[in-house]
Chains A and B, each alone.
Chain A
Amino acid sequence: MSPTVEPLIVPMATLIDASFVDYLILVIYFAFVLGIGFLAKSQVSESMDFFLSGRSLPAWVTGLAFISANLGAVEIMGMSANGADFGLPAVHYFWVGAIPAMLFLGVVMMPFYYGSKVRSVPEFMLRRFGQGAHLVNAISFAVAQLLIAGVNLYLLGSIVHALLGWPLPVALIVAALIVLSYITLGGLSAAIYNEVLQFFIIVAALAPLTILGLHRVGGWNGLTDKITAAGDAGHGPPADQQLNSWPGQALSGFDSSFWSVVGIVFGLGFVLSFGYWTTNFVEVQRAMASDSISSARKTPIIGAFPKMFVPFITIIPGMIAAVLVTDIAKVKAGETVPGGSSGDGVTYNDSLILLMRDLLPNGLLGLAITGLLAAFMAGMAANISAFNTVFSYDLWADYVVKDRDDDYYLRIGRIATVAATAIAIFTATLAANFSNVMDYLQVLFGFFNAPLFATFILGMFWKRMTPTAGWVGLVSGTLSAVAVAFLSEDAFGSWSTGVIPLGGQGAAFLAASVAFVVDIALSVGVSMVTEPKPASELRGLVYSETPVEDRTDPNEATYPWYRRTVPLASIALVMVIVLNTIF
């Protein structure tokens, strides 16, 4: 854990040569991270504080933390890999697959989350539908967080291994200990502060990389010329598909441009994206830590502004790497290149690291390594703190040991955090056995979030929906998605049977859609034959039963227009439409 041991570990063969100045920048960052945890420790007074930071953080801090919690391994490595592989259509993951859902979360969903004072999405399920739906949701959520934390830790460890040459087990344990210390020392407040800090470091590292890359390829025109030349030579998808975001056939896997647009808008933009952003407590927890309904609603909307520009520092470097880095260009031409961060050959996942190796002098290189490590840690820290909340409040306090004082649950929370970190080291070694672990995870996300979103949206707007329908919908939705994954070509890897001739993105989209439709259909059917909850218990939980004053901020109308929710969301929507038109 102590950064001073670093020079004592003899580096093995590394992908990148780090020098003294690079280590210095890294050590200073981690000194800050641990320092914040130490300073914040004295502030932790009661358990509400530890979990939701006492709801005192301003909207711009939680807004940045909101996207930083998502700016992890998948975002940075995955999106630069997609940029190298497909080109501009990868921006749909941001401008179609994220921004609309973030605005919807802020404008429509957040007043319910905030106004009903729930600490977690499972707790919302408890109050709206009762114990059946709550237990199903809390258990699957907790398990998913442990698995995802392990994947984040594995990616973090393998990057440390590739960059600095430390043995993987050492890198895993050191990373786990640092994540653990800042969560347990300071709680969510420290985690959120660190996420904001890390956002600035990532931008400070990736922006110079993008500018230097564009300089080296001869600007935007030089980049398009080189991509056109490579595309015409038959390397990768045709150049015009790589240089225009629509209709994006390369990304969606559809041959028809019409079905490609439909697939991206409804598959990625609606079912998967709304399911992810509006029901994922790792994200929602960030907004709940703000100081008013108005701030909570503005959290995802403020986050949407930087979010829409993240593709410029992740996807564009990937596109540059595909023409500038010899190894990646060879991969795109269909050759096999040995080496890479996995040791099993260079892949598109290595685009960003290899571009850093080729472009950045020592110093900036250290900043870039620090930014990557910080981003991967943030993903894991977010998983662990979400697990902590759900485990201690939703599972332990509701079903195992009830009615104890705050001190007791705070202690359980700390034990859960330590245990989750230890389990993540174990699930990280499991994740190491999957060669396509990110594809696998995206399928899991799809069929976990799609039924949850269906149950939520129906339960919020239809007061007739019954408690029985709540858990039946969740269970049947998830089971039907699992069934589709088994029947597809490769969504479950070698366990899939191939009865349905669809693989990759198509299979993930189909599984999510089936889960959504089955959930809605069964929920409506079951609601017709079972008893609904009395309207008096649905206040703050169902739209029609919630008085307007419960879901609005009395001060909102007194703010100038640029601090009100809806005008801000409208500006973000217009900006994202303009971006879609330009590219």
Chain B
Amino acid sequence: MSDTSATARRKPGHTAGLLDIRNIIGSLLAIDGLILLLAGIFADTEEEKTGGINANLWAGLVLLVVGVAFIAWCRLRPVVVPDDYDADHDEGRPEGH
């Protein structure tokens, strides 16, 4: 969608920052992924339950990758907060979706 408006921006270049939903999703998934990864390496893998799979390790790896991907997406295509319809509004508005 077209986030670039013709109207003047009061705070040019201001990004959604921490409140960007992609940052929030990404950091939670990455933190949980890291915990599971460490549990998979150091804790009891309880393979009698999982049928011989180190479930924590693999689930942790996937979560970590997805989480980092979200944060990277946010870094690579940061959101510029639009001023065109709401003066003090500061919500994230990711481009391209």
Contacts and interface: CB of A to CB of B under 8 A. Distances in A.
A61 B21 contact: yes
Interface string B65-97: 000000000000000000001101111011001
Interface string B2-45: 10000000000000001101001100110110011001100111
A49 B53 contact: no
Contact of A53 (B39, B59, B91, B97): B91
Interface string A180-209: 000000000100010011001100100010
Contact of A363 (B35, B85, B86, B88): B35
Interface stretch (A36-44, A84-92, A121-129): A36-44
Interface string A21-34: 10011001100100
A290 to B, nearest CB: 10
Nearest to A53: B91
Contacts of B28: 28-29, 32, 197, 200-201
A212 B50 contact: yes
Interface stretch (A353-361, A438-446, A468-476): A353-361
B40 A363 contact: yes
A212 B18 CA distance: 35
Given A29-B28, A39-B18, A360 B49 contact: yes
Given A28-B28, A216-B51, A362 B88 contact: no
A54 B41 CA distance: 46
A361 B56 contact: yes
B39 A54 contact: no
Chain A contact surface mostly? helix
Contacts of A200: 25, 28-29
A58 B94 contact: yes
Interface in A350-377: 358-364, 367
Given A54-B91, A201-B32, 12 more contacts: A25-B32, A25-B35, A28-B28, A43-B90, A43-B91, A59-B97, A212-B55, A216-B50, A291-B93, A361-B49, A363-B36, A555-B2
Interface of B: 1-2, 18-19, 21, 24-25, 28-29, 31-32, 35-36, 39-40, 43-46, 49-51, 53, 55-56, 58-60, 63, 85-86, 88-91, 93-94, 97
